[in-house]
Amino acid sequence: MTDLFAGFYPWIKAFHIMSVISWMAALFYLPRLYVYHSEQVGLSGDTHILFTTMEYKLLKVIMTPAMMATWIFGLSLALIPGVVDWSAVWPWTKLLGILAMTGFHGWLDGQRKAFEGGGPVKTGRHYRLMNEVPTLLMVLIVLSVVVKF
């Protein structure tokens, strides 16, 4: 089975990179929507309904499928012999970053449900700070893979 994956290595890697880009774009954008939603829109009215619809579709139509694809293609790459040296530190730091990113994804979904349900929600400042989480995790993950520390 792993030999089958090896023949498709460039394709799996390409689809992994594309799914990571899609997931990261959504992880950067959704907290910004929350900033505007909490500061400018409030928790009722037509604009609130519009924002909850946009947040729902971003999370369910783009972000979650991109995360699932990232996991599927990433695990497929890890199954190819010689791609990952599990005795090194870098795969474990990358895995830690990915698990944290997945947890952040879940936290964003919980915040979406809070907006949809009418609160309580965090402040715009809180969402601005949380918007930095995917950047920090991306740095950890990319440095782990490229520098292989």
- pLDDT per residue as tens digits for the range 26-58: 999 999 999 999 999 989 999 999 999 999 999
Could you list the residue range(s) of the whole structural domain that residue 24 is in?
Answer: 2-147
From the list 62, 54, 43, the residue with the least C-alpha distance to 105 is: 62
Residues of the chain short of pLDDT 50, as ranges, are: none
Helical ranges in the chain per DSSP H: 2-7, 9-36, 46-57, 64-78, 90-116, 124-130, 133-147
Q: What confidence score (pLDDT) does residue 149 get? A: 82
Number of domains making up the chain: 1
